[in-house]
Amino acid sequence: MFNNLGISFLWMLLAYTVATLVVFIHMLISNKSFGVQNAKQAGTTFLKSPVYVKSRPYQVLYNVLIFPIFLWLYSKGIDTDNIKEFMLNTVIQWTILSIIIDYISWVLIPHKFRLTHKEFYIDYQPYITLIYVAIFVSHYIVGFFIS
């Protein structure tokens, strides 16, 4: 299960970064092109800003689309006898690593988008759970196309 953990982490981090950037681009386009208010314009916190609130359902969709692509690309470079077991082990790792990275980057490290424990784990429901489920089911999505 822990073979290629370093390279697996790099592929997960790349998928995570792309998904995060896509969400920020989505919010930027919503704000600039469609006039959806950001936190400053609405006079509220980032988590309660209209642009963020309206992007939450799409965040799950972006993860459902992005993580399987990166899992497929990663799996193409790995020689294994049991691709389904390999992908299952990989998405378990990726889901756990995503939970850890989320906690460190969105809750622990101070920045202007930082969230409290309650904001991230309670107020952000069901979206954060659905994002983790999306990462976990990536192996089913990839498996459907490569079987």
> How far apart (Å, rounded) are the C-alpha atoms in residues 35 and 96?
36
Q: Residue range 109-114: average pLDDT? A: 91
For residue range 25-42, list pLDDT tens digits in order.
999 999 999 999 999 999
Residue-by-residue DSSP string for 88-104: HHHHHHHHHHHHHHHII
Question: What is the rounded radius of gyration, in angstroms, for the C-alpha atoms of the chain?
Answer: 17
C-alpha dist (Å) from residue 30 to 64, 89, 127: 21, 37, 19
Long-range own/partner contacts, residues 117-125 (CB < 8 A, 24 or more apart) = 119/47, 123/47, 124/47, 124/56
**pLDDT per residue as tens digits for the range 50-107:** 999 999 999 999 999 999 999 999 999 888 889 889 999 999 999 999 999 999 999 9
Q: Residue 145: its pLDDT value, please?
A: 84
Q: Quote the distance between the C-alpha of residue 100 and its chain's center.
A: 12
Rounded-to-5 percentages of helix, strand, coil across the chain: 80, 0, 20
Fill in the DSSP letter of residue 57.
Answer: H
Q: Report how many domains make up the chain.
A: 1
Q: Which domain holds residue 88?
A: 5-146
pTM comes to 0.90
Q: What pLDDT, on a 0 to 100 scale, did the predictor assign at position 84?
A: 87
